[in-house]
Structure 1
Amino acid sequence: MYEEKRMVDTYEVKHAIHVGDKEILFALDDTKTDYPYMVCNCTWDNPLGIDHYFNASASADYVEMMTEFTDRVQAQLEAIKAERDKITVPLQPFVLEHCIPNDYGESIENKVAVIRPERLRPEYRTADKQLVLATGGFGSHANSRGRAVYTVNLYSGKESRWNREDILGTIKPEHMPDWAKERLKQIQTERQVKQKKYEQER
């Protein structure tokens, strides 16, 4: 079966490791005798979700570039370790038994949903990444043909878009941790203030 080559300009990607918020790429263009080996970073943190390549470095020395590649991967791992060290809540992930299972006949808008662990990158399959407040989107409605669910992460406050099938269910009240209850109140208050301000400015 033909597999399309992944290219970065004229370089063919030979190795790619995604760790944390970046993917590290090692690529080759053997027509460039002066610098056939190239290492760069890639992210998709933009409105269109397209590949954004940056911080490229090229050389004719394979060992030098492979060292650069592994150094960048190691740096990403260290960044994740540092990020985890700052997290002050239990990391044990939520599973189906902690949830009211996802029911497409029920609305999840304004409810605390649990992201499926397998829809998160392995290094992010932790409780702080799973609990989100569903704030809208057609996918949050009952019996909707839409898939998009807009959310606010309870721990970080980051806004994201998921598909309804990415959601395991809504958290059972008895499994809602205290930290999440507190953050939920804060987020709901902040959203109410923003809504009132918006209405007053109209």
Structure 2
Amino acid sequence: MAEEKRMVDTYKVTHAIHVGDREILFAVDEGKTDCPYMVCYCSWDNPLGIEQFFDAAGSDDYLEMMSEFTDRVQAQLEAVRSERDKITVPLSPFASEHCTPNDYGQSIENKVVVIRAERLRPEYRTADKQLVLAVGGFGAYANARGRAVYTVNLYSGKESRWNREDILGVLKPEYLPDWAKEQLKQILAERQAKHKKQVQER
């Protein structure tokens, strides 16, 4: 079976490199004599998780567009490196020995869980990206048929959706870092205050 071609409008993607929060694409449309080469970004940062293409640049000069492509890749590498340099907590990833196994017969709602390192992009396989609080979703329940688990990252506070199989297990209390304890208290307090306000407004 022939591999399906990835397209951006009428352009066929010939090179794609994913670094950090976006992917850089180089695409070709030989039918466009005035602008056969195109470079753009792609991300999935939306509720539906669908591809979004933006900041496209095109030319009839292959070398110009290939230079644009490599420049964008380098810029993304620098952005990720700068982001990592600002992290103030230990980065060593958590492994299975730090967790109780992901028991599908147990609820993980309101528990600190660990995202499997292999489910993260290579540049993000660090502790600050792994530790999350499971706050809901059908996949968080015991013996659930659903897969979705909604989480809050303990370091960044960012809300995300994962599948239950993306979770390595519940973090053992003795391995919860001090920085995560403080963040957890703050997140729980904020969620409680938000819930209380919603109840009062009903």
TM-score class, shorter-chain normalisation, is over 0.9
Identity %: 78
Runs of 5+ in structure 1 lacking a partner? none
In structure 1, the partner of 2:77 is 77
Question: How many angstroms apart in 1 are the aligned matches of 2:21 and 2:98?
Answer: 28
Deviation at 1:94, TM superposition (A): 0.3
- What letter is aligned with 2:95? V
Question: How many angstroms apart in 2 are the aligned matches of 1:44 and 1:165?
Answer: 20
Please give the residue correspondences for 1:88-99 in structure 2 after superposition, counting only pairs within 5 Å: 88-99=88-99
Deviation at 1:188, TM superposition (A): 0.3
Runs of 5+ in structure 2 lacking a partner? none
In structure 2, the partner of 1:86 is 86
SS in structure 2 of the partner of residue 146 of structure 1: coil
SS in structure 1 of the partner of residue 200 of structure 2: helix
In structure 2, the partner of 1:117 is 117
Question: How many angstroms apart in 2 are the aligned matches of 1:42 and 1:135?
Answer: 29
In structure 2, the partner of 1:30 is 30
In structure 2, the partner of 1:3 is 3
- What letter is aligned with 2:8? V
- What letter is aligned with 1:75? A
In structure 1, the partner of 2:103 is 103
SS in structure 2 of the partner of residue 192 of structure 1: helix
In structure 2, the partner of 1:168 is 168
Question: How many angstroms apart in 2 are the aligned matches of 1:98 and 1:40?
Answer: 40
Cα deviations by residue, 1:8-64 (Å, 9 ceiling, x for unpaired): 111000000010011000000111111111000011111111111111111111111
- What letter is aligned with 1:40? C
Question: How many angstroms apart in 1 are the aligned matches of 2:136 and 2:46?
Answer: 20
With normalisation by structure 1, the TM-score equals 0.99
In structure 2, the partner of 1:126 is 126
Question: How many angstroms apart in 2 are the aligned matches of 1:146 and 1:60?
Answer: 49
In structure 1, the partner of 2:138 is 138
Question: How many angstroms apart in 2 are the aligned matches of 1:144 and 1:101?
Answer: 16
In structure 1, the partner of 2:14 is 14
Cα deviations by residue, 1:162-200 (Å, 9 ceiling, x for unpaired): 110000001011111100011000000000100111111
Question: How many angstroms apart in 1 are the aligned matches of 2:137 and 2:60?
Answer: 50
With normalisation by structure 2, the TM-score equals 0.99
In structure 1, the partner of 2:40 is 40
Deviation at 1:143, TM superposition (A): 0.8
